[in-house]
């Protein structure tokens, strides 16, 4: 039976789960919710970089991304940061939707699936 590796598990979720060389991250939100959408996006991507590094991979191996924004009108600002973060020609399959966030100060949440 293949081993499932859970990073920072708690009773509700794990920060990431690794199985058969795939890494599934939690929905990552900014640590400082006083930032604008660009600042929150940068923070989220930094956290994703750290999670992926812990699992021996990086943003060149992202297969899929799910992105939730509080206000879809912020999508262009988010995309500017997102596009600069992605390696050239390495864009994953992606969805980006407007959502009601768990905390009204959260402007963006990102979840990725990657491989080693």
16 part of a folded domain: no
6 part of a folded domain: no
67: buried, middle or exposed (CB in 10 Å: 19+, 13-18, 0-12)? buried
Mean pLDDT value of segment 83-98: 97
20 part of a folded domain: no
Residues 6+ apart with CB under 8 A from 20: 2
Residue 37 belongs to domain spanning: 26-113
Determine the pLDDT at residue 2: 84
17 part of a folded domain: no
Number of domains into which the chain is organized: 1
Determine the pLDDT at residue 24: 98
Percent of the chain with pLDDT over 90: 98
11 part of a folded domain: no
Tell me the pLDDT tens digit for each residue of 52-80: 999 999 999 999 999 999 999 999 999 99
């Amino acid at each position: 039976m293949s081993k499932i590796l859970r990073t920072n598990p708690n009773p509700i979720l794990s920060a990431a789960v690794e199985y058969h060389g795939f890494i599934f991250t939690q929905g990552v939100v900014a640590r400082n919710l006083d930032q604008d959408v660009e600042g929150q996006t940068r923070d989220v991507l930094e956290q994703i970089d750290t999670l992926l590094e812990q699992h021996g991979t990086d943003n060149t191996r992202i297969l899929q991304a799910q992105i939730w924004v509080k206000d879809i009108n912020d999508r262009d600002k988010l995309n500017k940061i997102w596009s600069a973060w992605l390696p050239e020609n390495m864009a994953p399959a992606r969805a980006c939707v407007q959502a009601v966030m768990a905390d009204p100060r959260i402007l963006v949440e990102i979840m990725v699936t990657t491989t080693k």
